[in-house]
Amino acid sequence: MQTVKIPVSIDPLRAAQSCLDFQGTVLGKQLKRLNELCAGDCSNVSVSLECGVDIQGIVYLKGKAVTELTLECQRCMTPYNTEVTVDFCFSPCKTQAEIDELPEAYDPIECNEIGEIRLHQLIEDELITAMPLIPMHDDKSCHQGSKDVVVGEIKVVQEEEKPNPFAVLEKLKSK
Ligand SMILES: [Zn+2]
């Protein structure tokens, strides 16, 4: 697998035929729309991308993008950092019929006039969609604390937050 700068656009058919895999970064400063939505500069985005053709002959672009964003807490109005991760699995489609036939595991993606996908734009769109609707600190790190939580409810919230031993095991397994 090559470590590279993730190409701005890609021909999905050609990439799939040559089974290209990418592991690389998209510079945060290049993602202008994402920067505008954040309270600070975006960190670089780590991207892994696998291009291929599945057993049904469907061309796919499958991958993951991870970055850290600075957002403004809507409760105490101070900036904080949070990690945003997106997993995606796209398949290029030209017609509505192709979109209709696409298995649920894939999201249809339209190619531009020269048959390419704008990869940076796509990753940026995905990250924007994955941003929290109302950015907020965890209760314990917020300068406003959990003042707005009704006293009677605090106990319930704390009980729910006890780490589940199975969840911890799952995490270890997936490493
Ligand atoms: Zn806060």
pLDDT at 157 over 90: no
CA 130 – ligand 1 centroid, Å: 20
Q: Number of folded domains in the chain?
A: 1
Q: Could you tell me the pTM of the whole model?
A: 0.77
Task: Determine the pLDDT at residue 147.
Answer: 59
Distance 25 CA to ligand 1 centre (A): 30
Q: How far apart are CA 102 and CA 13, in angstroms?
A: 16
Distance 161 CA to ligand 1 centre (A): 19
69 Cα–ligand 1 center, Å: 15
CA of 98 to the centre of ligand 1 (A): 45
pLDDT, mean of residues 154-173: 57
Q: What is the pLDDT of residues 72-122, one digit of tens each?
A: 999 999 999 999 999 999 999 988 999 999 999 999 998 888 889 999 999
**What residue type is assigned to position 123 of the chain?**
I
Domain coverage including residue 40: 3-174
How far is ligand 1, taken at its centre, from the CA of residue 39, in Å?
13
Q: Which residues, at least 6 apart from 175, have a Cβ–Cβ distance to it below 8 Å?
A: none
pLDDT tens-digit readout, 28-77 = 999 999 999 999 889 999 999 999 999 999 999 999 999 999 999 999 99
Task: Note the helical H segments in 53-160.
Answer: 96-101, 119-130, 151-160
